[in-house]
Structure 1
Amino acid sequence: MKKKIISLSLGLLMVLVCGVPLTGWGQGTTAPLSFGTASVGSSNYIITVGMANILTKNGGINVTAEAVGGADANVRALRDKKIDMAMLNSDSVTNAFQGTEQFAKAGKLGLRILVQGQERYNYIIFRKASGIKTPADLRGKKFIGRRRALGDIEKVTTAMLNAYNVPKDSVRILETAETNEALEALKTGAVDGACLPGGQRASNLMDLANNADVFFNSFPDDKLDLMLKEIGIPFLKGAVPPGTYKGQTEPIQTTMLLLGVSVRPDFQEETAYKVTKTLMESQKELAAVHNVGKEWTMGNTLKKPPAPFHPGAIKYFKEKGVWTPVLDQAQQELLKMGP
């Protein structure tokens, strides 16, 4: 608080002495931009902190990362103007922008995308002592498969049970508030399994694999196809390479979403341009922050956007010569769908 007061005082002094106007980065304020993200320790959190540092250092934009929770919680924080930017998965963006599913009651939210990139997996993890070999063995077991702040957890859990013909009421499905709570339950044996979000080599999941007797479930193609048919777009088929986690000798096949940086439509255009430009031109630094940083590419950014791009981002894409008639058509169609 003291730091904020000092910053404001210096700004006012510039106005009085030099006649320099106060200009905000995002919403007409001198305060740092607040960048909402997932739980501390997750790959999402680590890469968001890295992005905030890169934007501050390379882009001249004062940004601070804030651990809000799951993507749905970040959507609500963005809607309520508690944060300026948010790290969101493509499922939450789709539903918030269209006002469907978990956001049906709240209605459509005019989200705009700056960049996309990171692959975020839905890991299915079982304790070896549970006796579970595949999801078909979940009857009578305790499984963490619900989280208010992350609606895709329950979607994937339900689709998994349906794919294996396991009645939902035969499994004790538990809810946690955030990932660290679920990790602790797995470590202590309070549950038999869980559906957890994460990127490749997520530090909290690596810690779990290194210090608890668990294994990561890999879905065969037929089961994964059934799940994807049920949950639909924007879910994709993902494969985590062998050797990513302790004891993992084969790829982990599971569902995945793309992560992206989203803002409200009233986010300042010039700032949106600077954020997009800085992140797209700092890939080596992002990769140095975390292995998933290499996934924040122009190719992934332009891949199947679940909401319209911000005009500031489009300005940068046009400058780089990558904005095509196909992308423009998709943009116009998306604009018709949302507020």
Structure 2
Amino acid sequence: MIRTEQFRQLAFTAALVSTLVTGNSARAQEALNFGTASVGSTYYVLSIGLSKLIGKYAGVNVNVQPVGGSYPNLFALASKKVDIVMANSLSQYDRYHGNKPFKNSYEIRMLAQGMPNYRVILVRRGANIKNVADLVGKTIIGKRRALPELEKITSALLRVHGIAPDKVNIVGTVNTGQVDKALRAGTVDAAAYPSARRQPLLTALFQDGIVDFLDLSREKRNEMLKLLPGAFYEDVFKAGTFPDQKKGAYVFGLATSLVARADMSDDLAYKIVKATLSHTDEFAKYHAAGRQWTVKQSLSSPSVPFHNGAIRYYKDVGAWTPAMDALQAKLLKR
């Protein structure tokens, strides 16, 4: 028979082990895998910054994984390989509604929105491409499995300018780093390219005298927009946005968002959004675009419904309105 003191010691030990196991389990659940774009991209730099903010202010360990782009990120989210992702508005809309390349709809939710993300068309300076017609006979990087919208833009460019696809050698790459290397090596003449203002790799390409933007008129760009999904909007990179950029460039814009599965806990979603949007000055130390992650930007033209935990934060700061309730209900109806 166990004596009373021995029983107390055993009970205490069991309770301690239980507490440690439960605590470790809770901490394990609070560790997040963050899916983002390739190393060196704007998304990657921002994701590293966000991981630091979330760790510091939400008390959550974050492992940043360069999955490869918005669409692969959302595939990984659905397969539960990652817990949160950075993705553009077009890919979110397609994932939520089950549009190609996805085979079915999936319950994702918006946490926050930040800076615009752009698609541009670059030409190598040594390729002697003065206008779109000069693309005939040239090699252009115009497709990427991770970013199917690049192929849509390339197709729209040729169609609007009356160039048959077989008159251009269209090739693909796996990531932005490969595009950078091909342009520098001179193995391609032009590229449809994902970017942001002051994107590091593109800044270096301009700084080193490797590329220019394709001379595309606003009128032709807007004709192209009519052939592209509605998530795109018009924008311009003014001269001087990048080093030695002498002319403005008409580009294609998409919103950038932080997205999670609908089954993320409301409390965790709340903490992530608060950590992201309450420290924009600190976020900007990692990348200037961090300043654009604001409450106002987050509530602007969402393409998928907001997470309940995010809504709680927006209500706490007085930004959620009856109009947002109506928009949320509309988005939930799909």
In structure 2, C-alpha distance between the alignment counterparts of 1:98 and 1:201, rounded to whole Å: 32
Residue deviations 1:277-334 (CA, integer Å, cap 9, x gap): 1111011011111111121111211111111000000011111111112211111111
Q: Within 5 A, what are the aligned runs for 1:93-104?
A: 93-103=92-102
SS in 2 for 1:81: coil
What is the match of residue 56 of structure 1? Answer: 55
Equivalent in the alignment of 2:190: 193
User: Could you say if the C-alpha distance between residues 214 and 162 of structure 1 is closer, same or farther in structure 2, counting changes exceeding 3 Å?
Assistant: same
Question: Given residue 71 of structure 2, which amino acid in structure 1 is its aligned partner?
Answer: D
Q: For residues 194-220 of structure 1, what are the alpha-carbon distances to aligned partners after superposition, in whole Å with 9 as ceiling and x for unaligned?
A: 011011111111122223431122532
TM-score after normalising by structure 1: 0.90
Match of 2:146 among 144, 149, 169: 149
CA deviation profile, 1:35-71 (whole Å, cap 9, x unmatched): 1100101111001100001110122111121111011
Q: Which runs of 5+ in 2 are unaligned?
A: 1-13
- What is the match of residue 230 of structure 1? 227
- What is the match of residue 320 of structure 2? 323
1:70-96 deviation per Cα after TM superposition (whole angstroms, max 9, x unaligned): 111111111111000000001111111
Residue 21 (structure 1) shift? 4.7
Runs of 4+ with deviation above 3 angstroms: 12-15, 17-25
**8 Å CA contact 2:38, 2:44 repeated in 1:** yes
SS at the partner of 1:83?
Answer: coil
**TM-fit CA distance, 1:101:** 2.6
Identical-residue share of aligned pairs (%): 35
Which moves more between the two structures, 32-41 or 232-241?
Answer: 232-241
| 1:214 counterpart (186, 206, 211) | 211
Superposition map of 1:75-114 within 5 A: 75-103=74-102, 106-114=103-111
Where does residue 9 of structure 2 map in the other structure? none
Alignment of 1:38-53 (within 5 A): 38-53=37-52
Distance (whole Å) between structure 1 residues aligned to residue 173 and residue 209 of structure 2: 19
> Retained in 2: the 8 A contact 1:42–1:203?
yes
Q: Following TM superposition, by how much is the alpha carbon of 1:22 offset from its aligned partner in structure 2, in angstroms?
A: 5.0
- Partners of 1:327 and 1:250 in 2: how far apart? 39
Cα distance in structure 2, aligned partners of 1:306 and 1:241: 27
Trace 1:182-331 onto structure 2 (pairs within 5 A). 182-331=179-328
2:3 is matched with which residue?
none
Based on CA coordinates, which of the two structures has the bigger radius of gyration? Answer: 2
- After superposition, the C-alpha distances for 1:169-224 in whole angstroms (9 at most, x for unaligned) are 21111010111011111110111110110111111111222234311225322011
Partner secondary structure for residue 48 of structure 1: helix
* Separation (CA, whole Å) in 2 of partners of 1:68 and 1:311: 26
Deviates more, 1:122-131 or 1:254-263: 122-131
Q: Structure 1 residue 165 and structure 2 residue 167: aligned?
A: no
Paired residues, number: 321
Counterpart for residue 332 of structure 1: 329
Matches within 5 A, 1:121-140: 121-140=118-137
Q: Give the structure-2-normalised TM-score.
A: 0.91
Task: Report the secondary structure of 1:289's partner residue.
Answer: coil
Q: Which moved more, 1:218-227 or 1:196-205?
A: 218-227
RMSD after superposition: 1.9
Query: Is 1:33 aligned with 2:52?
Result: no
